[in-house]
Amino acid sequence: MDLTNRIALAAIEAGKEILHVYENEFSVAYKSDQSPLTLADQKAHDVISYYLKQTPYPILSEEGRDVPFEKRANWPCYWLVDPLDGTKEFVKRNGEFTVNIALIKEGIPVLGVVYAPVKQWLYIGESGEGAWKLELKEHQFPDNWKEAGERLPSKAEEDRKYTVVGSRTHASEETKEFIAKLQEAHGDIAFVSMGSSLKLCLVAEGVADIYPRMAPTMEWDTAAGDAIVSSAGYRVVQYENDAPLQYNKENLLNPWFVVKR
C-alpha cells in the first residue's frame, strides 16, 4: 500500500471512529490550555497510529505531542497529525471538523489528507502531483481515486465576488481589519464561515480566494491543508514576511498566516 492510500484510509477509519462518538452522548474534558478534548480525539489518534506505525516514519500528533525537541529535531521526515481538528465544531455538532494527516520532509508538507467525516469530503495533496477532492459514499475510498475525484482547483471563479473564508470561532480584531482592507481593494466581497482546516481546503478548491488567520494555530492544525493548498498551486505564507510556514520548530505554535490564490 502506498503512502497516499495508507493515510487516506487512516483518515477515513479515524473519521468513522469519531462518528461513533459524535452520534451518541459524549463528555468533554479540557486540556491545560482550555482546549476541549473528547473520547473521539483519542480513538482517532489510536486508529491513525495503527496505520502510520507500519511506515518508516515517526509520528508527531496533537494527542501524543510529548516528543522532546531534541529528539524530533533530527527527524528528516515524519508524520504530523491532528486526529480531530475542530473539536469546538465537534462539540457544537455542526459537522465542520476534520482528520488531518501530513508527511513533513525537511520542514515542508509534501503529502496531506484532510477528511471531514460528517460531510464525507476527502481532500488529498501530493507535492509535484496535484490535489484532489473526493465526495465519498458510505466512507468508501475508491481504488481509482484520482479518476473518481475532482482535480483542484475545480470551481470556476469568473462569476463570483472576491471571497474570503474565515473561522466561526476565532475572528480576531486584526482579522477584521485585514478584511476591511480587502474590501477597499476589491469592493463588495463575499465571506464564507467554516470550521477547522476546511478553510484551507476551500481556497485550494477555488471556493474562496483568501483565508487570513490572525489568531493562534498549531503546526498540526495547518500541515495537511498546507500540503493540499501548495499541491493545488497556491500558497500558505506568514503574515509578516510572506515566507512559507515552518514545521518542526521548537515551539509548535504557528505565526499568523494567509492562505491565498
Helices 39-52, 3-22: inter-axial angle, 10-degree rounding: 160
Q: State the Cα–Cα distance between residues 204 and 210, nearest whole angstrom.
A: 10
Residue 62 DSSP label: G
User: What is the C-alpha separation between 236 and 238, in angstroms, rounded?
Assistant: 7
Task: List the binding residues for substrate.
Answer: 62, 84-87, 221
Contact in structure between 209 and 171 (CB atoms under 8 Å): no
Q: Distance (Å, rounded) from C-alpha 42 to C-alpha 148?
A: 31
Q: What is the distance between the terminal CA atoms of the chain, rounded to a whole angstrom?
A: 33
Known binding-site positions for Mg(2+): 62, 82, 84-85, 221
CA gap 209, 216 in Å, rounded: 21
- What are the strands of the beta sheet with 150-152, ordered from one edge? 59-61, 77-85, 98-105, 108-116, 121-126, 130-135, 150-152
Rounded distance between C-alpha atoms, residue 161 and residue 88, angstroms = 29
- Counting Cα atoms < 13 Å in the Cβ hemisphere of 125 gives 32
Binding site as annotated, residues: 62, 82, 84-87, 221
Cell of 111: 503529502
What is the spatial distance between Cα 85 and Cα 41, in angstroms, rounded to a whole number? 9
